[in-house]
Structure 1
Amino acid sequence: MRHRRTPTYAFLALSRQQHRAEVERISLAVRNFHKTQQRFRIYHGSTSSTRRPVDGTSTNTIDTSALNNILEIDGVNKVAVVEANAPMDALLEATLDLNLMPLVVTEFPGITVGGAFSGTAGESSSFKHSFFDQTVSKIEMVMADGEVVNCSEAKNKEVFRGAPGALGTLGVVTLLYVRLQPAAKWVEVTYHPFESVEGALRMFRRFWKDEGVDYLDGVMFSPTKGAVVTGQLCDVKPEGLPVQRFSRAKDPWYYMHVEECISSGGSEPHRELVPLPDYLFRYNRGCFWCGKSMFDLTGLPFTKGTPQWLEFMLRTRMLYKALHAQDPNTLMVILDLALPFSAAEEFVNWQAERLDIWPLWLCPLRIGAMSTLHPHPLRTEDKEDEMMLNVGLYGVSPRDYEEWVSANLDLESKVTELGGMKWAYAAQLYSRDMFWQQYDKKWYDNSREKCHATSLPDVYEKTSVDYEAGRKMTKESKEYWDGTMFPAIAQLRQSLWLVREALKSKAWRLERRDVWKDWPEKR
């Protein structure tokens, strides 16, 4: 039975002609900014970044939020033609209709295809396929002077290779051609316990050479407890394996389930079957473990029942809306970094003492032929390595702003010392000189010149944090919330504010429409 769905977005309904009209509108607006050499920013309608969202009503903003459709699924050539602001769950639903799927699917359904390309997106299939942009064969882009160009390895190659990771600082990506592969009904998932970072790295090295493994990542709950998770696509349901889902309110949060599996099974691996979309979006409910942190921030009790009662608030779209009601960095540490395998153990031991953030997400990433602005090995001795290790740090921020600054500066210094790099979606506290020591600035500046993009904010300007402005904002926020009230009342008021702002976004409606949750029963 083929997978049927009720369209959440106008799948396949927006014609090429309508797309061209929208791109021409954007091109004209960009051209006018370029003529006056006025700097502008891009409003996408949503963001999974920790930076404050761009205000779509500003006069120096290009609104691209209408570019959120899938124009074509080419089942013969296995390519999806997707507008930049189409979310990942929309792309997956459209491709599943033809029993296809992207090679790399981001773990949050609300991450847009263009965001995954222009940012840095890696997932548990990235040990095979590298970052998401490596699965894109062609893009359409509005250059910073308004010219609309098509870019690929065969045409405008330098722009095609430079746009990934550039965060829209070379131009406006409007359309992407995403390569697809056959989909499967299930992912056979195995949780392999480990008791040290060294044990995890040893498993990663073994499994990334195993052709039978399609997905590979891990969760580390403490310095002596974690699980390497392998996944294998399958259409035939093996007898005796339990089926586990993660998309319904009654289902467990994924990371809690992983910990329960390795705690109850001793040193033996635990195997189970997970429906394909449930596996791909397994971290949607709870936003990894940030949902648990929101309970800590608001003072609400985290019991067995509360995640179910507040289910609509604890999916990634709603949690990001709540976080963006305030500066996310004053509430949470949300950042990813890539390290050479040889430095991973030292970093985890360092963070256990300095930051003490648990759990950690561990994900091997194939370096491959990536663009300059992606994380890459900084030390000469690491540049021949096949892989880097993505470490995800997600936890509650230090409540004192000065401690937050100090912790981030220490982190950036340690990561640089170890030859690693931070993802650019997170706040950057590097000085301008330190930031550009990590990248090929000459190449980047030349690319900006060729794209006529020098009137756009550069990557450093988009991601760096203004210390003094942060101090002032934090002080004003504290004075507003504290006032003369008791701290508990101030905390409650802030919690209600965050919930109110998230509800106003109506992002929860998108979650309710998802029909991939019926997979594979209605395939």
Structure 2
Amino acid sequence: MVENAWQQHAQAVERLAASYAAIPAGAAVRLAKRTTNLFRVRSESSAPGLDVSGLDGVIEVDPETRTAEVQGMCTYEDLVDATLPHGLIPLVVPQLRTITLGGAVTGMGIESTSFRNGLPHESVLEMDVFTGAGEVVTTRPGDELFDAFPNSYGSLGYATRLRIELEPVSAYVALRHVRFEDAGLLAKAIAEIAETREYDGEPVDGLDGVAFAPGEYYLTLARWTDTASGATPSDYAGQDIYFASVRDRETDLLTMYDYLWRWDTDWFWCSGAFGAQNPRIRRLWPRKWRRSDVYMLLLGLDRRFDIADRLDRRAGRPQRERVVQDIEVPVERIEEFLAWFDEHIGMRPVWLCPLVARRAWPTYPLRAGEVYVNAGFWGTVHVGPDAVEAPRNRAIEAEVHRLGGHKSLYSEAFYDQDTFDALYDGAHLAAVKKRYDPDHRLTSLYDKTVRRK
């Protein structure tokens, strides 16, 4: 079986290379990929895409070495389905089922284990990258290509195979939701947990939180356990909604599988925009369709037909600005950021996820070993006719920069070229790109994330 999987992988890479060869010399190259978890609107292109069929599975799981050989287009949902029967999971499993391993590594995935395991690319031991020159390059930590790959978003190439570390997990996850009324005390608790990996004498295996309102902050402390102690695990893929439980319950119990996807069922809290949190609608909404990729399809329909804007105009409401971002600031600045965010943006809830990078990475220069907090906020703000100029998003960028943080590039960005290059080490990235994409077949990071090409 394993040998056959490797043969199928080799054949898929050959198809990929053949599709590249079929594209006219000098023409732009991009993936032929139908689904996405990105929130950047890109210009339409009729150019043929690279054939990535057959590059979406798990080649091999090795329980002895706690590693897995995984294809770049494999979703975390499929990856977890392959590793969890062995009592193992990737060191960081992003919140949404259809995020791909290659996407999380070339982007910036994060989750509740990031305070102790860093970011998804930091558990990659080796990967094959199909470069802009049409070559497959095997690269490892410390190599120029490998170290520039995180946060390059396909501007250097696409991962076709990755060997990743896995870690053992238990059958269940015990949760404790701790409320804080002071954001400064919240930040202090995060820093202490990141250092000691415990709270009140109990181990903490996963850590994230929610800021519901000024003065109402929660940290969710997750502890792996093999004992249910007679309790029935909660089911948040049914009528109950996970994010609401953070407010309503002090403790909880989930299966490991359900813990990994606790945010996916309602796309955090964003499913409310589609009525999926209305109890009457929820009963009629098929369980299998309570997933982030379904909501993404609905969002695509809204964009295509301008549904929300039409309704706003009919109701006389000001035009909306879409504010969909994840940012990171040092833990000691999160209190300041939340206060500013409340005053100038006014959007809640906000997801909070601590992270500690294992080492420095040139294209997303977090200081190694220091505690940062990711703040995620996804929604719209009524701003009026100025919405087209994205004033709220631009203000967020400036404030995050002032506080010594960064923001992920999966969504819209508005930096000028000089600021962008200073934040994401553009000169170094350009030098690596020149080596592995000498004819500029792949869209540059700035063109892709800011100019939306």
In the superposition, the TM-score normalised over structure 1's length comes to 0.77
Contact map agreement 1:336 1:423 (CA 8 A) in 2: yes
**Are 2:27 and 1:38 aligned?**
yes
1:220 aligns with: 211
**Are 2:70 and 1:85 aligned?**
no
Structure 1: distance between partners of 2:385 and 2:436 = 38
**Are 2:380 and 1:391 aligned?**
no
2:271 aligns with: 291
**Are 2:50 and 1:59 aligned?**
no
Contact map agreement 1:100 1:180 (CA 8 A) in 2: yes
- Structure 1 residue 47: Cα displacement: 0.9
Contact map agreement 1:134 1:370 (CA 8 A) in 2: no
Contact map agreement 1:293 1:396 (CA 8 A) in 2: no
Task: Give 1:389's aligned amino acid.
Answer: V
Task: Give 1:44's aligned amino acid.
Answer: K
1:196 aligns with: 182
1:323 aligns with: 299
In the superposition, the TM-score normalised over structure 2's length comes to 0.88
Q: Choose 202-211 or 315-324, whichever is displaced more.
A: 202-211
- Structure 1 residue 66: Cα displacement: 3.4
Structure 1: distance between partners of 2:120 and 2:283 = 32
2:258 to 266, 271, 278: 278
2:235 aligns with: 245
Q: Choose 353-362 or 403-412, whichever is displaced more.
A: 403-412
Contact map agreement 1:191 1:228 (CA 8 A) in 2: yes
1:121 to 98, 104, 109: 109
- Structure 1 residue 437: Cα displacement: 2.1
Deviations 1:32-84 (A, max 9, x none): 65x722222223331111024787x9334213243111111111211111111
- Structure 1 residue 246: Cα displacement: 1.8
Task: Give 1:352's aligned amino acid.
Answer: D
Structure 2: distance between partners of 1:164 and 1:464 = 17
Contact map agreement 2:329 2:373 (CA 8 A) in 1: yes
Contact map agreement 2:187 2:332 (CA 8 A) in 1: no
**Are 2:92 and 1:104 aligned?**
yes
2:5 aligns with: 15
- Tell me the secondary structure at the aligned position of residue 47 of structure 2: coil
- Structure 1 residue 370: Cα displacement: 4.0
- Structure 1 residue 209: Cα displacement: 2.5
1:515 aligns with: none
Relative distance call for 1:53 and 1:445 in structure 2 (3 A) is closer
- Tell me the secondary structure at the aligned position of residue 191 of structure 1: strand
- Structure 1 residue 432: Cα displacement: 1.8
1:411 to 384, 396, 409: 396
Structure 2: distance between partners of 1:456 and 1:196 = 47
Structure 1 residues 289-438: aligned runs within 5 Å: 289-295=269-275, 303-312=278-287, 313-327=289-303, 332-374=322-364, 376-377=365-366, 383=367, 386-398=370-382, 400=384, 402-403=386-387, 405-438=390-423
- Structure 1 residue 237: Cα displacement: 2.7
Deviations 1:392-418 (A, max 9, x none): 011224374623511111111111111
Contact map agreement 2:194 2:371 (CA 8 A) in 1: no
- Structure 1 residue 452: Cα displacement: 2.2
Deviations 1:291-337 (A, max 9, x none): 11334xxxx9x633323322555420101111123549977432100
**Are 2:163 and 1:183 aligned?**
no
Task: Give 1:49's aligned amino acid.
Answer: L
- Structure 1 residue 206: Cα displacement: 2.1
Contact map agreement 1:47 1:53 (CA 8 A) in 2: no
Contact map agreement 2:29 2:132 (CA 8 A) in 1: no
> What is the total number of aligned residue pairs between the two structures?
431
Structure 1: distance between partners of 2:119 and 2:149 = 13
Contact map agreement 2:323 2:392 (CA 8 A) in 1: no
1:234 aligns with: 225
Structure 1: distance between partners of 2:428 and 2:21 = 24
Deviations 1:445-479 (A, max 9, x none): 1110121253311111111157xx9xxxxxxxxxx
- Structure 1 residue 203: Cα displacement: 1.5
Contact map agreement 1:435 1:460 (CA 8 A) in 2: yes
Contact map agreement 1:337 1:391 (CA 8 A) in 2: yes
- Tell me the secondary structure at the aligned position of residue 101 of structure 1: strand
Relative distance call for 1:175 and 1:397 in structure 2 (3 A) is farther
Contact map agreement 2:75 2:100 (CA 8 A) in 1: yes
1:169 to 143, 150, 155: 155
Structure 1: distance between partners of 2:387 and 2:163 = 44
Contact map agreement 1:12 1:69 (CA 8 A) in 2: no
Contact map agreement 1:335 1:394 (CA 8 A) in 2: yes
- Tell me the secondary structure at the aligned position of residue 141 of structure 2: coil
- Tell me the secondary structure at the aligned position of residue 423 of structure 2: coil
Contact map agreement 2:233 2:254 (CA 8 A) in 1: yes
Q: Choose 14-23 or 344-353, whichever is displaced more.
A: 14-23
Task: Give 1:37's aligned amino acid.
Answer: G
2:118 to 117, 126, 130: 130
Relative distance call for 1:412 and 1:311 in structure 2 (3 A) is farther
Structure 2: distance between partners of 1:84 and 1:162 = 17
Structure 1: distance between partners of 2:247 and 2:153 = 35
Contact map agreement 1:42 1:54 (CA 8 A) in 2: no
- Tell me the secondary structure at the aligned position of residue 185 of structure 2: helix
Structure 2: distance between partners of 1:13 and 1:441 = 41
- Tell me the secondary structure at the aligned position of residue 361 of structure 2: coil
Structure 1: distance between partners of 2:444 and 2:300 = 22
- Tell me the secondary structure at the aligned position of residue 342 of structure 2: helix
Structure 2: distance between partners of 1:311 and 1:359 = 26
Contact map agreement 2:75 2:97 (CA 8 A) in 1: yes
Contact map agreement 2:356 2:368 (CA 8 A) in 1: no
- Tell me the secondary structure at the aligned position of residue 358 of structure 1: coil
Task: Give 1:315's aligned amino acid.
Answer: R
- Tell me the secondary structure at the aligned position of residue 174 of structure 2: strand
Structure 2: distance between partners of 1:230 and 1:461 = 40
Identity between Structure 1 and Structure 2 (%) = 26
